[in-house]
Amino acid sequence: MRIAVPNKGRLHDPSVELLDRAGLHVVDGADRKLYADTVDPDVTVLYARAADIPEYVADGAADIGITGLDQVEEHASGDLVELLDLGFGQCKLVLAAPEDGDVQGVEDLEGGTVATEFPTITREFFDEQGVDVTITEVSGATELTPHVDIADAIVDITSTGTTLRMNRLGVVADVLESSVRLFARPDVVDDEKVEQVRMALESVKSAEGKRYLMMNVPEDDLDAVEDVIPGLGGPTVMDIAGSDMVAVHVVVDEDQVFETITDLKAEGASDILVTEIERMVE
């Protein structure tokens, strides 16, 4: 099975790191290689441009892919199935126009021109709005086009809005919210290996922001300790042989650890150990 991942740019390192944390360690993944083996002999990584990955998956060059939803919506030549939101690479496609111009709403662009690197998404957006525009496809410097009379507005990616503000552009409407997703062709969705990869990546994402707490608690204080634990479901309680103490294990959110430990100590818990969680299969 082949997994297509971005070969460079801001999505490459997080994608490879996620595979590594999921146990799919890339073997000899040197730069400029097209393929790399993983520790699983049945799984190969295919490096490709983020924009090309949807087509690679749709055409069968890869079985599953990791890339932004914006790229899937723009470049997928057939229906692809989203398997998992991987939660990084967040951005928006927005409709923006000069701050001091006449475009205050989508309807103001009727009969106008919009420049973008995402003509498919842009066309679908304006068709849904019932607004007729001319779409000019550009390959870079999209923010400049309204200032050199090439377009009345743009549809472009933004993460913080800084570039738009620097070019005196204001957001008129949100077009698409995007993040990096794992997706596959419909004919391989039920494949056992595809499900193994999906579950492995999901287990890594589920463990993010979680901590595993272990402690000893006097049996008489157990109810009070359970009342202050903000865990996922009830804690695991195990008897300690030859003792009136019990061992309590629980998963909590990372941002609750500091306060929770204080509360646990106050209720009689001792020998509290906090560890990171690499993977969590729900």
Query: What single string gives the DSSP state of each residue in 176-203?
Result: EEE-EEEEE-GGGTT-HHHHHHHHHHHH
pLDDT score of 31: 56
What is the model's pTM?
0.85
* Domain locations along the chain: 2-89+179-206, 91-178, 209-276
Question: What's the pLDDT score for residue 30?
Answer: 58
CATH architecture of 91-178: 3-Layer(aba) Sandwich (3.40)
Secondary structure letter of residue 223 according to DSSP: H
**Tens digit of pLDDT for each residue in 131-148?**
999 999 998 889 999 999
Q: Using a pLDDT cut of 90, give the percent of the chain over it.
A: 83
Residue 159: predicted pLDDT: 84
> How many Å separate Cα 148 from the centre of its chain?
35
Question: Could you read off the pLDDT of 189-221 as tens digits, one per residue?
Answer: 999 999 999 999 999 999 999 999 999 999 999
Domain 209-276: assigned CATH number: 3.30.70.120
Q: Do domains 2-89+179-206 and 91-178 have the same CATH topology?
A: yes
What band does 78 get if pLDDT is binned at 50, 70 and 90? low
- Angstrom distances, CA of residue 205 to CA of 216, 266, 278: 29, 32, 9
Q: What is the predicted pLDDT for the residue at 161?
A: 83
User: Into which CATH architecture does domain 2-89+179-206 fall?
Assistant: 3-Layer(aba) Sandwich (3.40)
Mean pLDDT over all residues of the chain? 92
Q: Of 215, 213, 203, 195, which Cα lies nearest the Cα of 278?
A: 203
Answer yes or no: is pLDDT of 35 > 90: no
**Is residue 56 predicted with pLDDT exceeding 70?**
yes
**Which residue, among 188, 195, 193, 141, has the nearest Cα to 169 in the 3D structure?**
141
Pairing type for strands 236-239 and 2-6 reads unpaired
Q: How far apart are CA 122 and CA 45, in angstroms?
A: 31
CA atoms within 13 A on the CB side of 239: 4
